[in-house]
Amino acid sequence: MQKRRRIVLLFGLGIVLPSLLLGYLAFRGIQNDRALVEKERLEDTRRAADRVTRAVDDAITLVEEALAKTFAYQIEKPSAESASALEKLAAGNPLIEQVFYLKDFKEVRLPLAKLLYVADGSREANSSSPAGLGNSAEIQAAQRLEFQQKDYPGALAGYRQALKHVNDPRLEGLVLNAIARVQRKSGLLKEAVSTYENIVRGHSAIIIPGGMPLGPSASLEICLLSRELKDFAKSLQTSLGLYKSLLGREWTLERAEFDFFVQRAKTLIEEVLAGQPPGLDLAPVRGDFQSLRAEEAEQRNKTERMIAFEQGAAPALEAKLRGGTDETNRSFSRLAFDIGSHSYFVSIVRPTTPPGGASDAAWGIIIDAEQLRENALRPALRDYFPSGETAWAIKGNDGAVLLSSENPPAGPVTLRTSFVSDTPDWNLEFHQPPPRLIRTFLLSRRGLYSFVFLLIAGILVFGLALTIRSVSHELELARMKSDFVSTVSHEFKSPLTSIRQLAEMLQSGRVPSEERRQQYYDVLLEQSERLALLTDNILSLAKIEEGRAEFAFETTDIFALLSSVVSSFQERVRHEGFDIELKAQSPIPLVAVDRTALSQAITNLIDNAIKYSGDSRKVVVGASVEEQFLAIAVRDFGVGINKEDIDRVFERFFRGGDELTRTVKGSGLGLTLVKEIVEAHRGRIQVESEPGKGSVFSIRLPLAQGKGS
Ligand code: ADP
């Protein structure tokens, strides 16, 4: 058991410990490799990110160049000619949200902007405060009749008369308006409607005193009158038409005017719809109304955004332009700024201060940030991060996500970058999952780890096999030893018992006949011989194993040696009826052998032959010369040896057959000793056997026997 502990200890020290150590080293190696892989990938990401930001930069530059090219046409300030060139430019570049002109560093103009309305009080003054109906005597008379005397039929006739002499279309519109008004006052509602329709058709754009066009108010009147006349279809149609025209920018209105008309038109529509006029299909009207409202919201947004720019961008632009030396020597300055809730990103041409000093004006563009993201940033990201392994997100300066990769960004940000310069305040964030340990292990360029792990596995398997083998061998040996002790004690005990009994009988003189006495002597002899043989075997083997055995080789007549062994056996087993035959092919040459040892070997073989004879009573001992060898064979016709045992019969303590069915006593040492002796003579021993038929043990000794060791 101590041995087993030692083996386990050895296994632990020699195999498990080094394996653990190697495993740990390999693990550390993989970790290092992983860190390296991670670093490389980060480097790759950084390079790709640089390319992405450059791609965006390039897209902006492209637009700037297009604007610069437009300037080759010498556009100096907004004009009809420049407008068409700029229109073309904007149409060809989706990144351009608006083109603007900065005059005297103070005033921003948006020549291409399509606004729903202009800021309050900003309508150009040239067409404002037009004269009223003028000072024609006819008109003045009619006005007096209308307002002072409230003589409507008279007033109507007066206006009608005046209309005939008017040849200025503006004045004509105004007179028509007065006619319609009087018609209405005098209850001629249908006539008033048709007069207003007349105005809408032909004089819609006429500006009335105060600066407003005639069209919207005339339309509004038609709606109201039609409703009064219960012509709901016309009322609805006209108010929708007005709403549409307002959104279609038919007139230039200030914000308050626009709001007023839109509000009135919408209220009218809603009121008529709420009244559910019979006989009208209202569904399409509702649909139109819905989409018009959506359009209004969108356009209002854009308009407010542009008005805010128009009114508030100049200081930021001026500061940038006057800021002097830019970090680059590009001819464009880029800047991002906010006005209220609106964010702008613009690029403006820097004045080149020509000699004339006429450079206090500049052209610029507002870049459409969403288009920039969708048409420049997203494709660039898709190109440079195609695998989908790296997730990314673009965030505004308030941290809101503006754009993100298809695979949702998760885990910590591994790289954060912003744009090269003067671009919208966007941050690009990249998320890279750490490389997997197993993947690093498998893909490691050096393949070292696979090798190390194979080595460890190999060592472990080898060690395990070795341990199992030696442990089981030790166990088997231990089992055989304990077997040996019990059988040997038996072996000693039974002959000793019979010797004692027989000796006692002989001593007491109670043996009846001489013949019986003689028998007793035979048995005594045989039993003591067996004891002697057993003792000899044990002692000799112990000597050989300890290396103390000394063989004394003497030239010997083998035939004589065999005869003596055989006859001593014949003597011993005579009473059991055994026939031991010695067959020799003469002449047998003299051979140098250790006589005692060889005799002991032959004795053991014959003893086994007798022991395992079963019912057979015949043993043949043969000697012959075969080429350079002397062959000695001991043959019996007994039980034979099982196939599975035949290779093991020479092992120490090995005893054949099943432990339970074993009847013959023995120690398992006899054949081991025979083999040792034969090998000490440089000979060989062989066995052939067939269960139930008998066995042959043959010894072959070299004839030219030198002095053995
Ligand atoms: P044992 O004391 O058991 O005879 P041995 O070493 O002499 O020990 O023999 C080992 C085993 O070989 C025996 O137990 C027996 O099974 C087998 N054996 C040896 N000689 C013979 C034989 N002549 N016939 C059959 N079996 C034999």
Provide the CATH number for the domain around residue 138: 1.25.40
Average confidence score pLDDT of the chain: 83
- pLDDT above 60: residue 329: no
H-run or E-run covering 325: none
Please report the atom of ligand 1 found closest to the CA of residue 634.
23
Q: How far is CA 336 from the centre of its chain?
A: 39
Contacts of 138 (CB under 8 A, 6+ apart): 158, 161, 162, 165
Q: Token pair of 99, please?
A: 């083109």
Distance of CA 275 to CAs 86, 223, 269, Å?
49, 15, 10
Question: Does the residue 213 lie in any domain?
Answer: no
Q: How far apart are CA 163 and CA 140, in angstroms?
A: 13
Would 255 be classed as within a structural domain? no
The pLDDT value given to residue 638 = 92
The band of 628, judged by pLDDT with boundaries at 50, 70 and 90, is confident
- Expressed in angstroms and rounded, the spacing between residue 670 Cα and the centre of ligand 1 is 8
Mean pLDDT over 611-638 rounds to 92
Would you say residue 690 lies in a domain? Answer: yes
Mean pLDDT of 274-293: 87
CA of 70 to the centre of ligand 1 (A): 116
Question: Does residue 694 line the site of ligand 1, with CB under 6 A?
Answer: no
Which carries the bigger pLDDT value, residue 172 or residue 574? 172
Pocket test for ligand 1, best of 641, 653, 658 (most atoms within 8 A of CB): 641
Most confident of 304-313, 315-324, 450-459: 304-313
Are residues 529 and 499 in contact, defined by beta-carbon separation less than 8 angstroms?
no
Measured torsion, CA atoms of residues 440, 444, 450, 452, in degrees rounded to the nearest 10 = -100
Task: Report residue 296's pLDDT band, with 50, 70 and 90 as the boundaries.
Answer: very high
Q: Which of 88-92, 327-331, 370-374, 688-692 has the highest mean pLDDT?
A: 688-692
Q: Is 36:361 a contact under the CB 8 Å cutoff? A: no
Q: Tokens 């399509």 label which residue?
A: 114
Of 381, 370, 433, which Cα lies nearest the Cα of 404? 381
pLDDT in tens, 7-52: 778 778 877 788 788 878 878 877 888 788 788 888 888 888 888 8
- Asked whether residue 339 is domain-assigned, the answer is no
Are 211 and 241 contacting, i.e. CB atoms less than 8 angstroms apart? no
User: Residue 141: which domain range?
Assistant: 133-208
- What per-residue confidence (pLDDT) applies to 126? 47
Tell how far the Cα of 76 is from the centroid of ligand 1, in angstroms: 125
Report how far ligand 1's centroid is from the alpha carbon of 649 (Å). Answer: 7
Q: Which of 208, 237, 265 is the last residue of a domain?
A: 208
Q: Which of 225, 220, 136, 224 is nearest to 175 (CA)?
A: 136
Percentage of the chain modeled with pLDDT above 70: 89
CB distance 614 to ligand 1 below 6 Å? no
Write down the pLDDT at residue 454: 81
List Cα–Cα distances, 327 to 51, 393, 500, 557, in angstroms: 21, 28, 125, 120
pLDDT value of position 383: 85
CATH of the domain at 589: 3.30.565.10
The DSSP secondary-structure symbol of 550 reads: -
Instruction: Flag whether 56 is in a domain.
Output: no
**Structure confidence at residue 420 (pLDDT):** 56
Stretch 635-658: mean pLDDT, rounded? 89
Confidence label for 707 from pLDDT (cuts 50, 70 and 90): very low
Residue 576 contacts by C-beta under 8 Å, 6 or more apart in sequence? 617
- Residue pair 220/242 in contact by the 8 Å Cβ criterion: yes
Is the pLDDT confidence value at 597 over 90? yes
Mark out the alpha helices in 413-447 (DSSP H runs). 437-443
Amino acid at 263: Q
Would you state the structure tokens that stand for residue 488, as one six-digit string? 């040997």
Domain end call among 208, 238, 256: 208
Q: Which ligand 1 atom is at minimum distance from the Cα of 636? A: 23
Residue 128 has pLDDT above 50, yes or no: no
Residue 599 lies in a domain: yes
What pLDDT is attached to residue 561?
93
Token pair 């902007």: residue: 113
Per-residue pLDDT at 587 exceeds 50: yes
| Other beta carbons within 10 Å of 309 | 24
How far, in Å, CA of 453 to CA of 451, rounded? Answer: 5
> So what's the pLDDT on residue 708?
39
Q: Which of 170, 186, 208 is the last residue of a domain?
A: 208
Count of the separate structural domains present in the chain: 2
Q: Which residue has the higher pLDDT, 109 or 308?
A: 308
Region 164-190 average pLDDT: 88
User: CA 168 to CA 695: how far, in whole Å?
Assistant: 150
Point out which residues pair with 554 in neighbouring strands.
593
pLDDT exceeds cutoff 90 at 655: no
Q: What does the pLDDT read at residue 301?
A: 92
Res 67 pLDDT > 60: yes
Q: What is the pLDDT of residue 659?
A: 64
Residue 127 lies in a domain: no
Q: What percent of the chain has pLDDT over 90?
A: 25
Most confident stretch, 100-109, 118-127, 179-188: 179-188
Does a structural domain hold residue 691? yes
CA distance 66 to 138: 60
